[in-house]
Amino acid sequence: MENNKDYERDEIFTKRVKAGKRTYFFDVKSTRSNDYYLTITESKRKIKDDNFFYEKHKIFLYKEDFAKFVEALQDAVDHVKNDLMADFDFSQFDVEPEASESNNDNNKFGEDLKWE
């Protein structure tokens, strides 16, 4: 079995987004050959037999797919906002800059995920 200490060393950057009962983690990790990829983890707190546990779902996103992923995510969000719920005021969900965990947060998805 592989040692977990090596796994922890590979994490370069992490961003946590709390969303009600769910928390999303965006983690940049490196491979042994110094290549980078992104993992997106959804963690949901659940109760079973009076004990808490976390149900996790993870997506691995590789550099060659970053642009396609960000574009598809932005298209889907725009479709909901502009076509399906055009009359809804989404500004109530905007994050104030000082309340943000990072000064690099942007309203447009993926603005800070440029890999050049």
Q: What is the pLDDT of residues 44-64, one digit of tens each?
A: 988 888 888 889 999 999 999
Residue 102 has pLDDT above 90, yes or no: no
Classify domain 4-99 at the CATH topology level. Answer: Nuclear Transport Factor 2; Chain: A, (3.10.450)
When pLDDT is cut at 50, 70 and 90, the band that residue 37 belongs to is very high
Residues 6+ apart with CB under 8 A from 37: 28, 29, 31, 60, 61, 62, 63
Task: Say what the pTM is.
Answer: 0.67
Cα(44)–Cα(17) distance, integer angstroms: 12
Question: Which tokens sit at 40?
Answer: 């997106």
Domains of the chain, residue spans: 4-99
Residue 53 has what pLDDT?
A: 86
**Amino acid identity of 41?**
T
